[in-house]
Amino acid sequence: MKHTIIDASQLELNDKVVAIKRVTKTVKGGRSMRFTALVVVGDGNGHVGAGLGKAVEIPEAIRKGKEDAIKHLVEIAMDDNSSLTHDTIGKYGSANVLLKKAPEGTGIIAGGPARVVCELAGIRNIRTKSLGSNNKQNVVLATISGLTSLKTPEEVARKRGKSVAEITG
């Protein structure tokens, strides 16, 4: 997955907690409890990132998750009606997420973790289907992987040495 470094200081970022898990570690004196928070951040304008934070208390885990997500921001190619430029499948681990382009007025048709990523990325018309694993962390990362693999018609035309009209038909 390619990551271009994006300056997050100029973006108005919103964040959403996707999952909070209580994890335990068995130590000599018993069990030590910690929390992990999966957080997705986005500006609603083509930038989105996900991060994982771990701490003894929930608010601290969420803060760390948000910081981690800001470090992993990626840019997404979208078309005129806030949808994808083409259909794609995002893969991460055993989670596969099918992302389909949708016409204006469709809305976001997506399950929990994929929906959060699409909303924060600023996509308003999309159909998704989670295939394989339904582990929230892997579904979020698979969705982001699929969104980063999108290419604009201009990029494809430049790469093939053709005009945009020839590519779009």
pLDDT along the chain (169 residues), means of 10: 64 92 93 96 93 96 95 90 91 95 92 93 94 94 94 88 83
pLDDT score for 152 = 87
CB atoms within 10 A of CB 36: 18
pLDDT score for 48 = 94
pLDDT score for 154 = 87
Distance set, CA 120 to CA 14, 21, 74, 140 (Å): 7, 22, 12, 12
pLDDT score for 51 = 96
Angle 31-39-131 (CA atoms, 0-180°, nearest 5)? Answer: 95
Burial 6-30 (b: 16+ CB within 10 A, else e): beeeebebebbbbbeeeeeeeeeee
Which domains does the chain show, CATH number per domain? Answer: 8-74 (3.30.160.20), 76-161+164-168 (3.30.230.10)
pLDDT score for 2 = 52
112: amino acid identity, one letter: G
* 8 A C-beta contact, residue 112 and residue 150: no
* 8 A C-beta contact, residue 97 and residue 111: no
* Measured distance CA(86)–CA(16) in Å, rounded: 26
pLDDT score for 165 = 86
Q: Which two tokens stand for residue 48?
A: 């989105």
pTM: 0.90
